[in-house]
Amino acid sequence: AQSVAQPEDQVNVAEGNPLTVKCTYSVSGNPYLFWYVQYPNRGLQFLLKYITGDNLVKGSYGFEAEFNKSQTSFHLKKPSALVSDSALYFCAAQDTGFQKLVFGTGTRLLVSP
Amino acid sequence: GAGVSQSPSNKVTEKGKDVELRCDPISGHTALYWYRQSLGQGLEFLIYFQGNSAPDKSGLPSDRFSAERTGGSVSTLTIQRTQQEDSAVYLCASSLASGGTWAQYFGPGTRLLVL
């Protein structure tokens, strides 16, 4: 069965510092991996995806993620955090041949001024 | 262009009543998904539609839940005889086609509260 783990409920970082939000996955085949962000009382906004190719994927708002097959990880990163990045971040996986997304439990990012 | 829209944005109902939630996907998107977001269960897949194919209903939690998609566009999620545990945010998403190469784009959700 597919599963996604986000080991941190919350990540705290100071504005201007780099941030990392961790994600590991378990799928039976080659994974499609996604990051979404959710602001209060809003739906999920697509940030980036990994399908194949370069292990470093660049997305919206300066975010990027690194796919590591040997560690089955897909960590979200940003070189310099903004206060406005504070939100709930979800990692998701989709196994080839399946259509549904399996989500992690979410990580709350808090960027302090 | 316009994103995925959902209505109503909020719905309060009494236990035992039926509710209908509506989703308008992005124009031209052939795949449509329903998910549920609740405190206890996180984000769960409910049902998936792709074109004229039979929907994947594998995530529906009980037979009180049903969904339809008319004309390959608008979808309605119906919950019959609502229970308090149905309280959650119901999210709709659409994608250009099926398969993981196409990202799913989500609507703002319908927040359902069953009293």
For the stretch B17-26, pLDDT in tens is 999 999 999 9
**Closest in B45, B56, B107 to A101, CB measured:** B45
DSSP state letters, B48-108: EEETTSPPB-TT--STTEEEEEGGGS-EEEEE-S--GGG-EEEEEEEESSSSTTS--EE--
The residue-averaged pLDDT of B64-82 equals 94
A78 phi-psi bin (left φ>0, alpha ψ -120 to 50, beta other): beta
pLDDT of B102: 82
Q: Do β-strands A31-38 and B19-24 pair in parallel, antiparallel, or remain unpaired?
A: unpaired
A94 reaches B (C-beta below 8 A): yes
Between A94 and B92, the more confident residue is: B92
The residue count of chain A comes to 113
The amino acid sitting at B37 is Q
Instruction: Look at A20-29, A88-97, B18-27 and tell me which has the smallest mean pLDDT.
Output: A88-97
Backbone angles phi, psi at B71, to 5 degrees: 60, 20
A106 reaches B (C-beta below 8 A): yes
pLDDT of A94: 86
Residue B1 has pLDDT above 80, yes or no: no
Give the Cα separation of A101 and A91 in Å (integer): 10
Instruction: Look at A27-31, A55-59, A81-85 and tell me which has the smallest mean pLDDT.
Output: A27-31
Residue B70 has pLDDT above 90, yes or no: no
Confidence label for A97 from pLDDT (cuts 50, 70 and 90): low
Instruction: Give the Cβ contact number of residue B7 at 10 Å.
Output: 14
B31 reaches A (C-beta below 8 A): yes
Give the Cα separation of A39 and A6 in Å (integer): 18
The residue-averaged pLDDT of A53-73 equals 94
Tell me: the pLDDT tens digits for B77-107?
A: 999 999 999 999 999 999 987 766 788 999 9
B94 reaches A (C-beta below 8 A): no
pLDDT of A96: 65
A101 to chain B: which residues are within 8 Å by CB?
Answer: 33, 35, 43, 45, 104
**Closest in A32, A43, A46 to B109, CB measured:** A43
Residue B29 has pLDDT above 80, yes or no: yes
Is B103 in contact with A101 (Cβ distance < 8 A)? no
